Structure 1
Amino acid sequence: MPNKNEQISTLIELNEELENYFSNTIIPQLFVDAHLILRKFTPPAMRQFKLKHEFIGMHLEDIKENFRFPTIIENIKVVIATGKILEKEIQTNDLRWYQMNILPYIIRKENKTNGVIITFVDVTPRIRDLKEQERLIAEHELLLDTIAHDIKNPLLGLSLTVQVLKRLPEKSMEKFPVLLRNVENSLTDIKKVVNDLVDSRWGHQRYQSAEELVDLQNILEDVRLTLAPQILESGAIIKEDLAISEITFIRRKLRSVIYNLLNNAIKYTPAERHPEILITSYEQDGFMVISVTDNGIGISEEDQKLIFEKFQRLRLTVDGSGVGLYLVNTIVLSSGGKIIVESELGKGSVFKVFLKMDKGLPASV
């Protein structure tokens, strides 16, 4: 058994290692004891929160304004009391977003929490990137759909008109054949441009966005980050129960599906109540079923027939373009799946997305 001098020497070495770690880490970190006294902080935390060396030994209550996050003390107390890790996205008063992790500092011999270690990771750029990705995905899908349907249909009508004109008697219209030929040539050129654009964009997209094995849990984390401002403002409570998490799918498209369903669940909740959302997943008949249940305004039977149409908005008082569910439905159907909705006015909705797990089997939807 080591003698007292050896024990002291070991403690000094451990303390030096801890000091060395805190001095050299690039992550803002704080060490707060069980009495909410600030004991250590890393240089990045010192710069980020304008901390001073004389703050060490002070109660957090006296310096909480430096952290610009009003509930940090309550969060620390919860971790000390429960001994469980707390992870959440927070927005500070300077409008930046952080992934905050509060880890209990446990004394193993006594099996008690003697404080917490708090880390802050700036996720503001990631949130901005994810929001931009969602915007680009929506614009991209709408552009292709517009070209493929809204433009090609009038061109078909024009082509049929030309065919009718060609069968009309020319009589004395000497220039008629020339004019008709010019119209037909122009029509052919327009069709070629449209087809080339659609083919090249779709081909490029297929190359860039191949299917891969994705984890639904990771997709949900990305979506929660993207919607962090809305979640914070609405006080939304989001729970997950994932019986199955992995599926082969295009990552950005699955993220777009989850993003739009979760965004709607938050957006279409009455102002007088906080959104309560449950996301579940399970396997059924060769499909991964992703279910999103909310306590929102609900959808009438009549409106349920319209919600997947492009530019269809049920509430003009709510921000949006009316393309979210249209895109979700387009993505799901094109992958061989389906989406169904169960809803009652005033009592919320359940959206169930069925995604084929084995793309080699025929769809039984």
Structure 2
Amino acid sequence: MSQSLPPALPPDFPPSEDLLRVLLDISQNGVMLMRPVYDATGATVVDFGIDYLNPAAQQMLQLPERPAASFHTIYPTADAAGVFAFYRDAFLSGQTARRENNYQHDSLDGYFLLMARRQADVLVVTFTDTNDQPRTATEQALRISQARELEARAVAERERGQLELLFRDAPAMICVFQGPQHVFEFVNPPYQALVGPRPLVGRAIAEAMPELAGQPIFDLLDSVYRTGETYRANEMLVQLDHDNEDRRELEKRYYNFIYQARHDRQGAINGIFVFAYDVTPQVLARQQVQELNEELAAINEELRASNDEFLTTNTALTLAQEEVYLLNQDLEKRVAERTRELLQQQAMLSQILRQVPAFIATLGGPEHRYTFFNEPYQQLTGQRPRLGLPVAQALPELAAQGFVSRLNEVYTSGQPFEAKEMLVELFDPGTGQSQSSYVDFVYQPLRDDRGQTTGILVFIVDSTAKVHARRATEAAAQRLRVLTDALPVLIGYLDREQRYQFANLAYRGWFNIDPTALLGRKVRDVVGEQAYANAQGYIVRALAGERLSFESWMPYRENFVRHIRTDYIPDVKNGEVLGFYTLVTDITDQTEARERVQELNEELAAINEEMLAANDELRDTNERLSYTNVDLDTFVYTASHDLKAPIANIEGLLLALQEQLPEPVRHHPDVTHLLGLMQGSVDRFQRTLVHLTDVSKLQPAHAEPPETVDLAALIESVRLDLAPVVAAAQGQLSVDVAACPTVRFSPKNLRSIVYNLLSNAFKYHAPDRPARVRLRATCPPGQVRLEVQDNGLGLTADEQSKLFVMFRRLHTHVEGTGVGLYMVKRMVENAGGTIQVESAPGVGSTFTVQLPNRA
């Protein structure tokens, strides 16, 4: 089966920087980026500068995005409250740190949940104000403790694997027993060689090595497991069937070994660690020397017992002396050969230690003087150690970091010390700078035959790469967690047992369960039986390697039934399906809306049928209305034409009356006032009749054909006609028609539109400021757009609704009939255009006319 690949991102998927910016902007958690400030020596963090605050952090802290002041300046109480120390320690350790803090200082008053971790040279801090959180502090602390315990277990498993590799390569015999039955949990190759191919791991020692029955081994193991006291044996005789030949007489061999109890995290004994060396050659050599010494003592006794005979028999004495000499020569030769063998073994062990891929050194005495170090150790420490030189003198920087005091404790107490991923700063003579590394190391005390500590074995493994890799993995996982938690889509991962191995924050809103509590639980237990029954078939297909996308109703529980769109993406490696990713999107609202739209479409179809039936009636009605409108226009035109003669007669009679009145009466104030009112009424009536005649000509039937109009020339002609009005308003007209120099429209109607808009703009100017009017023309495709903007009196919203009504005047301090804007609107709409106004009292108005620009 070929390996399935996840789908490629769509081409419009936002860049990671943009996506990160969006996530930071919409996050409800505060995010703060801080950079350390060091003292004059550059070794101690004394403050932090704040590089960035996301919107949530700005709101919670009431600070700008990039505050100019430092952290201590803004929060002087943070030192006493422990917050600064928390940030400093988090930055120095490089580990994720958590803290709950009730902070009621420096203009803040809240209960904050803080999380911080170092990324390169920046400390990343997220925080929330947990005052409104429903969880108790105990529950939150328990979740944090459980998360830390899981992480610690994972780290311990990785470290244990590395330690097993180290033990496998060690030249000594090493094994680990588990439980009170002393079941072999681990044996390295030298230990396995004790019994050849006989299986050991997983078997109790009494079962795997039955020939030890009757020997003290079993009792010693039981005692160490029971008491926890370390047992050390020197040259103990142990008989084993090394070749698995079931011989009656077992081979006798001698061993130096240590039985040391192992403890679990609660301090209870759960096993025994064994470290052994085969010293049989040394023991046998010493026994041979002892036997020769005993033979020599017997000979000397015989010589003393036969002193008299020796004195009388000089020949016999000479022969005996020669025999003793020869025996002594042979003894010296055998001792010298054994010494050479021991030296060769020591040299071989030294060579092995020099080639081990770890940093190894032995230190002697309370001053910790170097007695041995391999080449990797020499390279690690910059070639500075010398045999006989104390550690504190060769590597003075270790004293300030506490390593020398730890050596003193191990030497004094005789107890080993072990540390994992410890940060060490070593001076590099080549660069003149300190080099940071992370190491796993063991200080193992070395003892003489009396059990007195004489030195310390230092065993170091470089874990820098492991630490950096883990931090990079954790950073990537954190970025993935932040990204997935910000999405409103349920994102999870199920293994082959259908158990959740990952769940993002969206699961909490659906199932009221913290996502971390879902890990390890089966999907059936989480979603419920009914929902699982709907999805079971798809799950089986996904675990068979099929990629799926489907929609379904999911009755998760009572009153929580959702319509979802689901994608299952198999996780295939080397042809094997390890599990699958699941992406669930809630489309309940879309589905219900689609169903509602379908219902509305059905209703609309029924209405359309009714409308079709009514269209014929409307068409007949429109035709009748069109004829009626023409008749009305004809009537208006006829009426206005027929009324001109009576009005002209009235005007003539009024003039005749003025001439017939006696001179004193004609100039009487009351008569003059009445005659003026009558003449004004006649003038207004005549103007109204003229406008009615113009209105009757606005019907589409009377529309004039379009022509090409020079817009700038037309506007200039209108400006000349309005010169007195412009001067009276102390006005200024600015024109911008470069984008639309010519227009296809009725010249007469276009001039009337421009004239009325400009005339009103200057007539209704604000009395407290000069009139400023701007006319601008643009040509969108197939159209011409005219904008007339003024700084005049302006209109309220209610006045704007009455603006285009015939004979309706909103300002009466200026002469007019209320027909101009009505005519403009009719001409624009008859041509298929629109007119709109935007206005505010005391600010001014903007009229926008949109007309078709006909070819």
TM-score by length of 2: 0.19
Higher relative contact order (CA 8 A, sep 6+): 1
